[in-house]
Structures are given as structure tokens and as C-alpha cells.
Amino acid sequence: MNLTGKRILVFGVLIETSMGYKVAEAALNQGADVILVNAPGKPSDIMRRIAKRLPKEPVACLSADITEQEDLRALAAEVGRHWDGLDGVVHAVAFAPQDALGGNFLTTPFESVATAMKVSAFSLKGLVRSMLPLLEKAENGASVVSLTFNAAVAWPVYDWMGPTKAALESVNRYLARELGPRRIRVNAVDSGPITTMAGKSIPGFDQLAKVWPERAPLGWDSSDATPVADTVAFLLSDAARAMTGQVLHVDGGFSAVGA
């Protein structure tokens, strides 16, 4: 696996334990050049400070509201000022209001569900659409990778993030269908529970993380995001050139076994 010369945009970098940071780190270690993006304001400020700890300095640290098309158009223009093409995009963005989590499934208002869907699922389409002119210029075809959590079953306390991740995985397949003829691959990585800021915001996350190593055939370390990040890097590489529309499980085998 080699990402030398690849130009990768990673949207969703915050603290060092965030999946976006770990993906950027893995891509840089494989020789890629990286542009980091996060939401405007404090998240973007934190990202700029954290970026200094990466193994190589990012080409740029930018900000954009992933739910606003005007912001995404401006982001694409800014990326275009640095690069004349884009080899990969990583969507490491997810959010649900607190009343959509933690056992509130029956009482969650539609407005909160809509927010979760817009930020966590629909935004993948918006991001890819804005970057499409740059992705089409990738010499060996481009790759888009998003991050999900097993949406095939109903999890306790995960509530509306479950249907949201199911929507994200469906968007992943439809984008793969639409963009394959343009030599753009679209895949997702289904990770076991990782101790990130996003994970900690889910009530009951600790209980979910605790049972994982007990059931996963290979075991599972929720403090180690590198197996997930390395899989994302693989999907960004030419080694995955014939893969699209897939959801790869990186969970120690948990999803393959029963109780």
C-alpha cells in the first residue's frame, strides 16, 4: 500500500483521538499530501493546533460548514488553489442532538432526526458533489471513504444514529453507482467502538465498548484507532482500485458472530 503523490482531503479532524486525525496520520505516513477541514469556529481552531502534531505538515487547514452548499463551493475553490486535482476524500463527520440518543428513540422530535441525517448522511453527497470537478481529474481514479457503525442491527442507546448510519451506507452505495463511470470509488468503513470525542458523547458508550473485546474473535482495543485508519488508507490507495459501494467491517470480527 502506497499513497505517495496522492492528494487527500480529510473532513472532520479535531483532537488526536478523533478518527479524522488518525486517518490523516495514516495517509501522511503512507506518503500522501493532506488538506484538513473542519467546521468553522472553535473546531477549526483546535484542528489547526492539533495539526502541528502530525508526522508531516498538512498542505492547508481549512474550514467549512458541511451542511451549507455555499460553504462547500468555497471550500472546493480553496482546495483548487492548492491542487489541480484530488485523489481522495475522507468523510469523518457525524453528529446527533442529545435528544436523539440515550434511549430517546420514541420521543425524539423530527427536527433532531433531520439534523442528525443532514450532518451525518446527506452531507456525504454534498461534500462529494462539491469536490467532483477535482476528483474527476485524478490520474488513476479517485476514492471517497466515509466512516460508519454497524447499521444492520438496533443498538441500545444509539437510537437515531442507527438509522442515520443506515442512510449513510445507502448514500455510499448510490454514490458508487453514480460515480463509478467517472472512475470514482465510494466505500465506507464500519468500525468497532473507538474512544473518540464523538463516541464519548453517546450515553452508554462505555458499556458498548466493554462488551466488544469479549465477543470479537480477534479481540478489540477501543483506544486503538490505527486498524481503522489503516483500512481507510488502503481504500484510498490504488490497491483498492476495483472496490466500490462496499462497507468494510473493521471490528475484530464482532459483526460476524452471534451471542
**Does residue 165 have a pLDDT over 90?**
yes
Point out the least confidently predicted range of 104-113, 131-140, 187-196, 242-251.
187-196
Domain assignment present for 30: yes
**pLDDT tens, position by position, 50-109:** 999 999 999 999 999 999 999 999 999 999 999 999 999 999 999 999 999 989 999 999
Domain assignment present for 53: yes
Q: Which domain holds residue 186?
A: 7-253
**pLDDT, the chain, mean:** 94
Give the chain's domain count.
Answer: 1
What CATH number corresponds to the domain at position 154? Answer: 3.40.50.720
Instruction: Report, as an integer, the average pLDDT of 149-176.
Output: 95
**pLDDT tens, position by position, 14-36:** 888 889 999 999 999 999 999 99
Domain assignment present for 2: no
Task: Write out the DSSP string of 121-172.
Answer: IIHHHHHHHHHHHHHTT-TT-EEEEEEE---SSPPTTTTTHHHHHHHHHHHH
Domain assignment present for 259: no
pLDDT for res 156: 86
